[in-house]
Amino acid sequence: MNLNHKIVFHLLATILIVGCNQPSKQEIVEEEKEKPCETLLDVSPEKLDRFGITNTEYLSAASKRALQWKYVENDWYRVFNPMKPLKGDLAYEEGVVRRDPSAVIKVDGLYHVWYSKSVGATDGFGGDIENDKVFPWDRCTVWHATSEDGWTWKEDKEAAVPLGEKGSYDDRSIFTVEIMEWDGMYYLCYQTIRSPYDVRTKNEVGLAWSASPFGPWEKSKEPILKPADNGIWKGEEQNRFMVEKKGDFDSHKVHDPCILPYKGKFYLYYKGEQMGEEILYGGRQIRHGVAVADNPKGPYVKSKYNPISNSGHEICVWPVDEGIASLITTDGPERNTFQWSPDGINFEIRGAVKGANMPHAIGLNRTIEATTDNPTAIFDWGLSHVYNSWNYQSIMRFDSYRKTSHVAQGAKAPDGKKKKDKQKDN
């Protein structure tokens, strides 16, 4: 090997060590591609001292992971207080399901929220699926309410978005709605189901728009997002776990849509469920995806990089620090984490969330701006649903506070001031 070849060899080896999580360069020779990736550890005195590691000759797997952590600050850590009941028309009502609140926006001095609403108990599967109610979110329509203070709410007299005509893609249920305000128009995206509703039914995503938050709303004639079509069911039995081929992460259902304007385009984030979904490595095998459009009405094209999460449930995303942040809840090995992406696609964990009192199906308060120095400020208060029982759910208000240190009562905080973490009553 001559000198030039040796220089090239060492440069390529350096690339492999530093960029061990990056795709191999095309010019790397085949024998270099096959070499195992070596991981560089930050063994600076400052980091070793911070993590209490004094002997670098003996590093456990946990210590190695700690030395690879890119983010160890506490700016993203949140503690949620117990949720509180709402007043007015959104107070709990026996026999009525109100769930999956949208984000909260403020227009002309009024807070606005949209949500799923249905009546009656859940029958489940196994009966007359043409006429029964198989889930609490079955036979829902989208409703709208307003409030002057975020506590007492007034519900409209009629549904904002009714069911479609029989045979249409949204003739059975419309639910899990989100709102986007853009360029003087209001856009509602939501899940849809075509009757009959059985365990192999493929959920889709619809869209409605209006010049006013009070409507009237014009609906898309076709879904703006559908599940992947590359899974294959096994047999004819109504069993969603029997598959010949599972297909993409969203081959069964696309759920919980949320559209964000971002960098001149529109990013539709959604939850995917796979045919033959498993319980795998931390709970249900739930992951998120994104589809991008040049226009709020679409067409939306799924990202080639999907899925963009390893865990999660309902979508909860917001813009911050020129990127997109996400709260991952409920399912998977990365649940209860805040994540952030510089491009809306590649997310990394930025902090954990204390699991107690965690809201689900979160309606973010988009009147609160998240900033670089307080990226989770949007969680100061918002809306969530709770299960009063399996049959009936209601919408409640959550609040939380940022926790950056652990200090005993009366003791001094890291900044030298006496301090005690308090629950906020927003």
Give the per-residue pLDDT at 23: 46
Give the per-residue pLDDT at 126: 87
d(CA 82, CA 390): 20
pLDDT exceeds cutoff 50 at 21 = no
Q: Mean pLDDT check: name the lowest of 56-65, 263-272, 319-328, 411-420.
A: 411-420
Note every long-range contact of 229-236, with CB atoms under 8 Å and residues 24 or more positions apart, other chains counting: 231/274, 231/275, 231/276, 232/275, 233/200, 233/275
Sheet holding 348-352, edge to edge: 317-320, 323-328, 337-341, 348-352
pLDDT exceeds cutoff 50 at 22 = no
Domain boundaries, the chain: 3-68, 78-402
Kindly list the distances between the CA atom of residue 359 and the CA atoms of 4, 74, 177, 186, 270, in Å, as whole numbers in the listed order.
60, 20, 17, 26, 18
Question: Right CATH number for 78-402 from 1.20.1430.10, 2.30.180.10, 3.40.50.10880, 2.115.10.20?
Answer: 2.115.10.20
Q: Which two tokens stand for residue 286?
A: 């739930």
Question: Between 50 and 92, whose confidence is greater?
Answer: 92
Q: What CA dihedral angle connects 215, 221, 224 and 227, to 10 degrees?
A: 130
Q: What angle do CA 181, 178, 224 make, to 5 degrees?
A: 90
d(CA 66, CA 52): 10
Give the per-residue pLDDT at 282: 82
What is the full DSSP assignment across 104-120? BEEETTEEEEEEEEEES
Give the per-residue pLDDT at 18: 39
Q: Strand pairing partners for 318?
A: 325
pLDDT digits (tens, 9 = 90+) for 180-217: 999 999 999 999 999 999 999 999 999 999 999 999 99
Q: Which two tokens stand for residue 238?
A: 């109504």
Taking Cα atoms as reference points, which of 168, 261, 269, 144 lies closest to residue 220? 168
pLDDT digits (tens, 9 = 90+) for 314-365: 999 999 999 999 999 999 999 999 999 999 999 999 998 888 899 989 999 9
Share of the chain above pLDDT 70, in %: 88
- Token look-up 């308090």 returns 422
- State the chain's mean pLDDT as an integer: 89
Give the per-residue pLDDT at 74: 82
d(CA 172, CA 151): 31
d(CA 407, CA 413): 6
Give the per-residue pLDDT at 37: 59
What counts of helices (H) and strands (E) characterise the chain? 4, 24
Taking Cα atoms as reference points, which of 176, 179, 208, 178 lies closest to residue 191? 176
Give the per-residue pLDDT at 417: 65
Kindly state the DSSP code that residue 57 receives in the 8-state scheme: T
Peptide bond between residue 414 and the one before it cis (omega within 30 degrees of 0): no
Kindly list the distances between the CA atom of residue 235 and the CA atoms of 202, 246, 248, 308, 417, in Å, as whole numbers in the listed order.
17, 14, 19, 31, 67
Taking Cα atoms as reference points, which of 215, 205, 204, 179 lies closest to residue 363? 179
pLDDT digits (tens, 9 = 90+) for 120-162: 999 999 899 889 999 999 999 999 999 999 999 999 999 999 9
Taking Cα atoms as reference points, which of 309, 203, 283, 290 lies closest to residue 251? 203
Work out the burial of residue 326: count CB atoms within 10 Å of its CB; fewer than 13 is exposed, 13-18 middle, 19 or more buried.
Answer: buried
The SS3 assignment for 377 reads: helix
Strands 84-85 and 393-402: antiparallel
pLDDT digits (tens, 9 = 90+) for 351-395: 988 888 999 899 999 999 999 999 999 999 999 999 999 999 999
d(CA 276, CA 15): 39
Indicate the pLDDT class of residue 404, thresholds 50, 70 and 90.
Answer: confident
